[in-house]
Structure 1
Amino acid sequence: MTRYEFLKSAGFSGASLMALLSCVKTDDSYVEALVQNPDGTTGTTSGTGTTSGTTSGTGTTSGTTSGTTTGTNTNTGTTTVAATNADKTLFISTDALSKITAKLKIDLTSATYSKLKTLGGYVVVSSAYVVALSKTGKFIAATVTCSHEPKKRIIYSNEEWYCTDHGARFTLAGKGLNSNASKGLTIYNTATDGNTLIIY
């Protein structure tokens, strides 16, 4: 369970959730998670085996997981971070956020973007992007220009991207849902440290 999922399950939302997510420290990288087993019982993550991964740069990562994590991590270079799905927001540290090449940066503490503190709220930024906080609590972003006709009329509505000009409807991943949306829609990745949201 991620920190975000834990805080959401604890009932935090909106500004209070963003405030708690902004309190990330580099030593918060490992949390013993509470899991629900198939039989309905709960416990903490455990198991035996070796965990290994790859980090962009020069270095090695190794360790053994058995209730607690031990091992060494040596890294020199930069870390590349990317979201796995276009509709998922990547919550990262401020330092990691600054290393991503952004198309757009949004100050979430600004009153200009207060709609992004409410689930289902959206804003149009720089006449180029429509950015929303989905009903599932993820920041999402798309081009404001419809692929049906190049008009800047895309909005976020009912967990879809919608063109107010001719009714083109798109999934959050940009796939067309009707004939006017057959060309799809350009979707962007998002990442935040809780105070700044970037579109990339």
Structure 2
Amino acid sequence: MTRFEFLKTSGFTGGALVALLASCVNKEDTYIEALVQNPDGSTSASAVSGSQTGSTSSTTGTTTTTATTPTTTSSTTGIDSSTLISTESLNSIKNTLLVLDLSSSTYANLKNRNAYVIASNIVVALNKSGKLVAATVTCTHEPKKQVIFSNEEWYCTAHSARFSQAGVGLNSKGSKGLTVYKVATNGNKVVVY
């Protein structure tokens, strides 16, 4: 039984649960800000109990989670146009792991910067600079399928393991690194390979 499961079964919820979880880890493993990002892009530990914009949906066979933070972009899509490739090039990619249709309401939110989706055990995110990145949802600290994209990093909600966008561990729990994938898009379709 994990510490989180134990505290939940003991009746702790909300802020009390977060406070207990945060008090029982090494300083370098603490990353409360990873879960809250202010609209201006800054993070704040005092905002832990504040609200976060986002939505969650679940479908049979594939779980999709989306989290967004409001952005101030003037274009209709947050994807950096310099990262787009032709449809012909996109269709020629071999060893495809995942294909997402951005015109689908399930994945359309991925056009927003700081958003992510989880499909087929892969987390796909659009970072702050408008580049699509992808990683496995399974953390290397313990095989928990709880990796998300937050604050420009991969973050495991199970034990606070942190990883750079390149998959390099940023704290002791992320020391084994994280599997990341290549991503390509033509603006309408995303291919992870």
TM-score (norm 2): 0.58
Distance 1:194 1:122 in 2: 16
2:137 to 144, 167, 183: 144
Change (3 A) 1:104 1:14: same
Distance 2:138 2:112 in 1: 24
Q: Name the structure where helix makes up a greater proportion of residues.
A: 2
Deviation at 1:114, TM superposition (A): 2.3
For each residue in 1:44-79, what CA deviation from the matched residue of structure 2 results, as whole angstroms up to 9, or x when unmatched?
xxxxxxxxxxxxxxxxxxxxxxxxxxxxxxxxxxxx
For each residue in 1:1-46, what CA deviation from the matched residue of structure 2 results, as whole angstroms up to 9, or x when unmatched?
xxxxxxxxxx75343x66x95xxxxxxxxxxxxxxxxxxxxxxxxx
Deviation at 1:117, TM superposition (A): 1.5
Residue 176 of structure 2: aligned partner: 183
Query: What is the letter of the counterpart of residue 137 of structure 2?
Result: V
Residue 74 of structure 1: aligned partner: none
Residue 105 of structure 2: aligned partner: 111
Aligned length: 120
Q: Give ranges in structure 1 of 5+ residues lacking alignment.
A: 1-10, 22-88
The alignment's C-alpha RMSD in Å is 1.9
> Helix, strand or coil for the counterpart of 1:183?
coil
Distance 2:181 2:150 in 1: 17
> Helix, strand or coil for the counterpart of 1:122?
strand
Conserved? CA contact 1:131–1:139, under 8 Å: yes
Tell me the percent identity: 54
Q: Name the structure where strand makes up a greater proportion of residues.
A: 1
Larger Rg: 1
Q: Give ranges in structure 2 of 5+ residues lacking alignment.
A: 1-72
Structure 2 residue 92 is the aligned partner of structure 1 residue 99: yes
Deviation at 1:115, TM superposition (A): 2.1
Change (3 A) 1:14 1:170: farther
Conserved? CA contact 1:90–1:190, under 8 Å: no
